[in-house]
Amino acid sequence: MSRRGGAGLLALGLTLAGAWQWTLRAQGRGVPLITDEGEYSVAARVWAEGGLPYRDAFSQKPPLVLLAYRAARAVSSDPEAPRALGALAALATLGALFFCAPASWSAAGRLAAPAAFAALSALPIGDYGFTANTEVFVNFFAALSAAAVLRGAPLAAGLAAGAALSAKQTALWTVLGFGALSAWTPRGFSPRRAARFALGAAAAPAAFAVYFAARGAFHDYWACVWSGNARYTAVMLESGAFSAQLTWFTRALLPRLVGYGLPALALAGWSLHGRRAGHERPVETLAVVWFGTAIAGALTGLFFFPHYFVTVAPALALGAAAGVERLGRARARWAGALILALWPALLAPRLLFASSARERALSLLYPNPLFETQLLGAEIARRAAPGDRLHVFGSEGALFVYSGLRPATPHTLSYALTLFPKDGALGREEMARLSAAPPRFIVWSGQPLSTMIASRAGADYRDALRAFVAAGYDYAGSVRVLPSLQPPAFEPASSAVAAPFGDEDRLMLFVRRAP
């Protein structure tokens, strides 16, 4: 094949892989925002309106993802606009993986990583395959860093790795792994290369730290993003919730991840069979390090949400591509690349292509109240007047997006007050804010997975807030969270009916009582 013809084939293959990935990510079409997307959207809106994330709107994620949401908001007012930006980041990751493959590889081998990533990054498991979570941005910068590592450019590799760390804290493991690969040469450890990587990796985190320090909010930034986020593991162990998480992971999530990734795992294993890692196998070595550090990052907090494992996809795709390249015949290599791309769709065609948005939401994410949150947000917007504010007891931050209201306090989600605190000081401070300036609306979630009470201090805050609601608010109605294909409905409250606080599958709306 001529050089021009080969370039055309590669361009066509990349285009098809990108189109296939975009098609698979469309499983989220019509599905309202999930919890994390709501959290990031509110923080980005507060930031765009002159406030500061962390100080004025709680979030646990580093600022790069909030900056991405702010950029999406500047382009479009559509609540789901960040998903388009996430899809573009996934497409860019696909392109970066193409450049991780050596030019000496066959066309099938060079296209195998993009083909595999197109499928592996959009698996129909919970919120894994379509949301604009931090992981889609981590993957893009990690793939850029990987390409720079393979080209012997430690400064560029560090810059991209530091950006990945500024999207999610658990990217630290990949930063360390890529730093080690950048510093190690055939002649041994190179302090100069290590220093160049470290300098690059520090750039983005340092820039954000300086920004928040200059705005007088460094303490809030540090407490939310770094010191506070590190408490996840301790909470899981102290509360005893880790055992249940581990059981669910091993029985439900892990088998599905392995099943959807089986061809990629097999080909990645084949790429290593009978070979030793080292400088003579740079792609395979980097893929192994990347895979291991991504797994470590996904497991760090001992919460095993499906989308945490999206960061494994590019590493596994690159390893699988090395396996495809090792197949003996051209037809076998093309067949391997095709199987990598099509495998998830063969396992779950209806979930990806045929079902309604409501059916997909129920199959992927029930009992998360996605359509229920969207409906209740619209109901609040219908009742609201200019200047009204909202407080949410639960994790439904998307209510602020769909209602258009600003949060009554910096805590747009309650888990910071129910999951982490070691004492009741934070809850008392929150109640003081609410008492000083009571919001017009309060939404109360009955779902334990939404309120996430794992401490005595968290239970005390819940009880204090319930007393506050009883003293000054009327029960206006609720939306039930049901496993039904019928659209949810707002059920206005009867004056003779008390608020059903004991019902776990319900979002309740309270309106401040007229003086």
pLDDT tens figures, 427-444: 999 999 999 999 999 999
In this structure, of 269-273, 335-339, 483-487, 495-499, the range with the lowest mean pLDDT score is 495-499
* 500 assigned to some structural domain: yes
Same domain, residue pair 350 and 409: no
Helices (H), 107-228: 107-120, 134-150, 154-165, 172-183, 191-214, 218-222
Average pLDDT over residues 142-147: 99
Whether 172 is covered by a domain: the verdict is yes
Looking at residue 193, what is its pLDDT?
Answer: 96
Q: Are residues 389 and 352 in the same domain?
A: no
Phi, psi angle pair for 491, to nearest 5°: -105, 105
- pLDDT, residue 279, reads 62
- Is residue 29 pLDDT above 60, yes or no? yes
Q: Are residues 91 and 191 in the same domain?
A: yes
Residue 418 lies in a domain: yes
Residue 87 Cα to chain centre, angstroms: 13
**Predicted confidence (pLDDT) per residue in 56-101, tens digit:** 999 999 999 999 999 999 999 999 999 999 999 999 999 999 999 9
Distance of CA 317 to the CA centre of its chain: 19
What amino acid occupies position 348?
A
- Examine the fold and report which residue of 321, 356, 391 is the final residue of a domain before the chain moves on: 356
Query: Is the dihedral angle over the CA atoms 454, 455, 458, 464 positive or is it negative?
Result: positive
* Listed residues 324, 356, 388: the one ending a domain: 356
pTM: 0.94
The verdict on 149 and 291 lying in the same domain is yes
C-alpha–C-alpha distance, residues 451 and 415, integer Å: 6
Residue 53 lies in a domain: yes
* pLDDT (average), residues 419-429: 84
Percentage of the chain exceeding pLDDT 90: 78
Convert the pLDDT of each residue in 372-418 to its tens digit: 999 999 999 999 999 999 999 999 999 999 999 999 999 988 888 88
CA distance 343 to 120: 9
**What ranges in 49-127 are assigned the alpha helix state H?**
63-75, 81-98, 107-120
332 & 444 share domain: no
67 lies in the same domain as 188: yes
Contacts of 108 (CB under 8 A, 6+ apart): 324, 325, 330, 333, 334, 336, 337
Question: Kind and range of the H or E element at 294?
Answer: helix 282-299
- Which runs of E-coded beta strand occur in 292-446? 389-393, 406-407, 441-445
Residue 361 lies in a domain: no
Q: For 34-38, 295-299, 383-387, 418-422, which range has the lowest pLDDT when averaged over its residues? A: 418-422
Domain count, the chain: 2
Residues 352 and 406 in one domain: no
**Range of 481's domain?**
366-512
- In this structure, the answer to whether residues 458 and 328 fall within a common structural domain is no
Give the pLDDT band of residue 2 (cuts 50, 70, 90). very low
Domain finish residue from 323, 356, 389:
356
User: Is residue 171 one of the residues assigned to a domain?
Assistant: yes
Residue 413 maps to a domain: yes
- Considering the domain architecture, whether residues 254 and 147 belong to the same structural domain is answered as yes
Structural element, H or E, at residue 435 = helix 425-436
Each residue's pLDDT tens digit, 161-216: 999 999 999 999 999 999 999 998 777 889 999 999 999 999 999 999 999 999 99
Helix (H) or strand (E) holding 507: strand 506-512
Structural contact between residues 40 and 143, judged by C-beta atoms closer than 8 angstroms:
no
- Report the pLDDT value the prediction gives residue 3, as an integer from 0 to 100: 52
244 vs 217 pLDDT, higher one: 217
Task: Examine the domain organization and report whether 410 and 506 are in the same domain.
Answer: yes
What mean pLDDT comes out for the span 469-477?
Answer: 96
Same domain as 314, residue 190: yes
User: Is the predicted pLDDT of residue 25 greater than 90, yes or no?
Assistant: yes
Listing DSSP states for 404-415 in one string gives -PEESSS-SSTH
Q: Write the DSSP symbol of residue 480.
A: E
Instruction: Assess if residue 230 is contained within a domain.
Output: yes
200 CB neighbour count, 10 Å cutoff: 24
Note whether 83 and 41 are within 8 A (CB).
no
Name the token pair of 276: 């030793």
- Are residue 110 and residue 219 in the same domain, yes or no? yes
How far is it, in rounded angstroms, from Cα 401 to Cα 403?
6
Residue carrying structure tokens 């975009």 = 22
